[in-house]
Amino acid sequence: MLNDYYSSYNMEKSLKETTIQEKAIQDRLKQASSITIESALRNKVNLNISWYDVHGYEQSQKYTISAGSVIEF
């Protein structure tokens, strides 16, 4: 019973983290100056998204997209 609780909690936590990350990636995609596919493995794609900040400096962040994720460009 306790294991079911922890399993449910971890799944809920994972879903929340995924939702937050997907929202952030959509914001980054709108600002992107370049998008690089680092790797495409079974059930996931690793991206490196670069953009310029308000001071003109290039920034980048890596994201992992899981199978079934929906993002908008």
Query: What is the structure's pLDDT at 40?
Result: 92
pLDDT, mean of residues 12-29: 61
| Average confidence score pLDDT of the chain | 77
CB–CB of 18/69 below 8 Å? yes
Query: What is the structure's pLDDT at 18?
Result: 47
- Please, is 32 exposed, middle or buried when counting C-beta atoms within 10 Å of its C-beta (0-12, 13-18, 19+)? middle
Query: What is the structure's pLDDT at 49?
Result: 94
* Residue 24 backbone dihedrals phi, psi, to 5 degrees: -65, -40
The CA distance from 37 to 14, in Å, is 23
Percentage of the chain surpassing pLDDT 90?
Answer: 41
Residue 66 clears pLDDT 70, i.e. is over it: yes
What does pTM read for this prediction? 0.64
